[in-house]
Chains A and B, each alone.
Chain A
């Protein structure tokens, strides 16, 4: 008996190629992350073995516990970075959160004006905002450093928050401006007719409707602050204000560093942004879609 291949059967090359590419890309993104997570639960010996162990043979929490309570060997090698990690996480959280909040507060007012009012020079101003982002950080880091020093702000949260706000604000304004424009003006008008004053209109109608945009902009500002390295390196010096990227770099420069401890620090550094993304995931996707459909 012969098996009849259905006449119209074709090998779905398009699908296969698409899937291979998609899986390949996913691995490319996920594998390094998986590796760092796996490594953070390994003993040093496993981590440096060739060929690498993809699954920890005897998982341990030692690397994490070390941050709180360094063991003797850890205290000996790379102890500083080790000790500073928990503080830097706290610092990063505070700085990034404050940056996000300050940014949103300022950008909301600015973006609302740009989206609703016609005034002379508004286009020029918007472009100018973007241009400030074209200046490489290295060009202004020295003036910034001197400025902060003369205000006595070196090694404080405020120095970081202020600098990060200047980076993030232009982009935040642009994100919000586009988003606000997509919110129909009639909603505000309806609120006015429904007896809301201006503040009430903003608070009860406009801002809730614009929430996805606010979340997207807030997350953006948070990430900007969370990832920033160079300014943090210049402006901070002790565990009072050092942020996680700076401390992570300390691991790398310390040539005694254990890879597993570094991996654990890396994992900790990723957790807050990851949580943030997960919590706001739905709003974020909404926000991005809504912002992109109408410009």
Chain B
């Protein structure tokens, strides 16, 4: 029941600024994910929201009310810690009910609420155990239970799945997503796992070095990354990048790769691709980076118009798909193609890029120059 708004939040430790001028509004009942590489300031941001850390500059508002000066116990938030931080001397039941006890909820009500939360998380039969007698996944659930057992304006989750094995992680991912719908509250979720971010969120804020690079829906982030960093961070396997430059050839905007292998063999050997630019003329020096996701790369055994020959470098079966790496004009390009893929290593294969789904970035600052989604085209 709370909208969380950060206005110009800055945080420095000593002389080092770890969060810079962060502006972010999390809508009521939204599931917002902060994602980014290790050390980019995600946890710090979360800790400022819940009041464990005081911002160096800027203000935080819950439902329009400033809370920057309230200590953690006076803010209306619940938090799941990355390390779980379960109270080792208390039983699971006491762990979950602790906050309610502090809020002077009557004993009977506490017992009831704890049981309800435990049921949701499927840990009813663990209520009398101590944290040290639990597995990682069970501890995880207790940590979640401690948060969801009570009413709070916002629920903050700091990499709650990072300590779990892959299988359990997938399971819990779905459970948390479902939980969000069931409890219908504001969730702010921190992770460095882009799959978690993509699968769970209403919106994603991608951070790097304390700066939010882009804050948008998962689709938007995936389809229209604001810059090269977002493009490479979100998506697995990551987007292919080919450096090159823009040229006008017979009035058509063409991208030509400047890969080392290509230059020596002459211009017409280099990867060239028709591209369309939006929002300006592109960089003055014409130097750009072309981005294409592996699933937008197609392979053909026979030459097709617009396809360029390359050599199979390696093929990695993923089950339904095969991830094929092709050496193309001296660059390695990954293609995700349906199983089966039968070409041997080093055999010739023809590579085509899906014209509608190309990304173009300024080579110097990495800003996106082209929007790939067809609907957005004029």
Interface residues of A (CB under 8 A from B): 184, 186-187, 189-197, 200, 204-205, 208-209, 211
Contact = CB atoms under 8 A, between A and B. Distances in A.
B52 A189 contact: yes
A205 B73 CA distance: 14
Interface stretch (B58-66, B95-103, B331-339): B95-103
Contacts of B98: 191, 194, 204
Nearest to A207: B89
A191 B89 CA distance: 13
B81 interface: yes
Nearest to A190: B85
B77 A193 contact: yes
A195 B99 contact: yes
Interface in B66-100: 71-73, 77-79, 81, 83, 85-89, 98-99
A191 B52 CA distance: 11
Size bracket of the B interface: 20 to 34
A21 B103 CA distance: 59
Contacts of B86: 190
12 contacts: A184-B83, A184-B85, A187-B88, A189-B52, A189-B81, A190-B86, A191-B87, A192-B72, A193-B50, A196-B102, A209-B87, A209-B89
A270 B89 CA distance: 32
Nearest to B88: A209
Given A208-B89, A209-B89, A194 B99 contact: yes
Given A193-B52, A195-B102, A196-B102, A186 B89 contact: no
B73 A193 contact: yes
B22 to A, nearest CB: 21
Contacts of A194: 73, 98-99, 102, 146
A186 B98 CA distance: 15
B146 A192 contact: no
B79 A190 contact: yes
Given A186-B81, A200-B102, A192 B73 contact: yes
Closest A-B pairs by Cβ, 10 of them:
A186-B85, A194-B99, A192-B72, A190-B85, A195-B102, A208-B89, A193-B79, A195-B73, A189-B52, A186-B81
A231 to B, nearest CB: 37
A208 B130 CA distance: 14
A276 to B, nearest CB: 22
A283 to B, nearest CB: 11
Interface string B214-252: 000000000000000000000000000000000000000
Contacts of A195: 73, 99, 102-103
Nearest to B74: A195
Nearest to A188: B85
Nearest to B79: A193
A198 to B, nearest CB: 9
Contacts of A196: 73, 102
B78 A193 contact: yes
A196 B146 CA distance: 14
Contacts of B72: 189, 192-193
A253 B78 CA distance: 68
Contact of B85 (A189, A197, A208): A189
Contacts of B78: 193
